[in-house]
Amino acid sequence: MKIGFIGLGKMATAIIKGLEKTDFDILAAGRDPQKTARQAEQLGVRALSNQTDLVAEADLIILGVKPQVLPTVLAPLDFHQPIISMAAGVSLKRLAELTDPSLPLIRIMPNINAQILQSTTAICANQHVNEQVWDLAKTITDCFGTTFEIAEKDFDTFTALAGSSPAYIYLFMEALALAGVKHGFPKDQALSIVTQTVLASAQNLSQGQESPHDLIDKIASPGGTTIAGLADLEKTGLTASAISSIDATIARAKEL
């Protein structure tokens, strides 16, 4: 099967790297043929001179184009195959208007961790996607992380929880590292300690049967140091701030 990528940005590149061990024939085309040819050579895929030829040859198209230029890119193309779009904010309905309402259309939302093939990716589809195409799309997304099937109406919430939240997590990690610096650790060492702790804590949660609340109770002994810190975090509004940040992220997504 031939999978054609229109656009070779960071996310498309990450997906292609995830597909390296598959049997798919990967094609690529972009607005700058020379740049695309260089990128394709580095990735070990085949570059086509233009997007029209790519659409004519590919069995499935993956759109790696920025939302603001998507209408211009799609307008001259005559699609006949299923399309996977990762353009943020572009609904399946809008994608159908820009391509063909009768086509099988799939919308995905990866996150930054696709760079290390650990993306948290949302997926949904229109009514023309059959079981075979759906399974193919999930096979592709599973190559670069974990796939969550969600309703399209929940994409803004997913984007906040999985797309934006890594930035909030990094901010919290940076704050913990700075606290270590305040109390005498070199910054690099403090950040390494925090990074390893966050990584192992996430693995402990994902691999076990206990909830975050259960694990907190295991760490926080009566009258101990941890409960003192937890009480201070709640005094300064950590939970409320986290929820408020997600609310703000969703609200902004709906404005775009």
**pLDDT tens-place string over residues 8-24:** 999 999 999 999 989 99
Known binding residue 10? Answer is yes
Q: Quick check: 85 and 95 in contact, CB under 8 A?
A: yes
Segments of the chain assigned to CATH 1.10.3730.10:
158-255
Report d(CA 196, CA 186) in Å as an integer: 16
SS3 string, the chain, reads: CEEEEECCCHHHHHHHHHCCCCCCEEEEECCCHHHHHHHHHHHCCEECCCHHHHHHHCCEEEECCCHHHHHHHHCCCCCCCCEEECCCCCCHHHHHHHCCCCCCEEEEECCHHHHHCCEEEEEEECCCCCHHHHHHHHHHHHCCEEEEECCHHHHHHHHHHHHHHHHHHHHHHHHHHHHHHHCCCCHHHHHHHHHHHHHHHHHHHHHCCCCHHHHHHHHCCCCCHHHHHHHHHHHCCHHHHHHHHHHHHHHHHHHC
Report d(CA 97, CA 1) in Å as an integer: 26
Q: Which fold has domain 158-255?
A: ProC C-terminal domain-like fold (1.10.3730)
Known binding residue 6? Answer is yes
Phi/psi of residue 69, each to 5°?
Answer: -105, 0
- Per-residue pLDDT 10s for the chain (256 aa) are 999 999 999 999 999 999 998 999 999 998 889 999 999 999 999 999 999 999 999 999 999 999 999 999 999 999 999 999 999 889 999 999 999 999 999 999 999 999 999 999 999 999 999 999 999 999 999 999 999 999 999 999 999 999 999 999 999 999 999 999 999 999 999 999 999 999 999 999 999 899 999 999 999 999 999 999 999 999 999 999 999 999 999 999 888 7
Q: pTM value?
A: 0.92
Known binding residue 9? Answer is yes
**Average pLDDT value over all residues in the chain:** 96
Report d(CA 13, CA 30) in Å as an integer: 12
Dihedral sign (CA 9, 10, 14, 15):
negative
pLDDT of residue 190: 98
First CA to last CA distance, the chain: 35
Report d(CA 170, CA 174) in Å as an integer: 6
Q: What top-level class would CATH report for the domain 2-150?
A: alpha beta
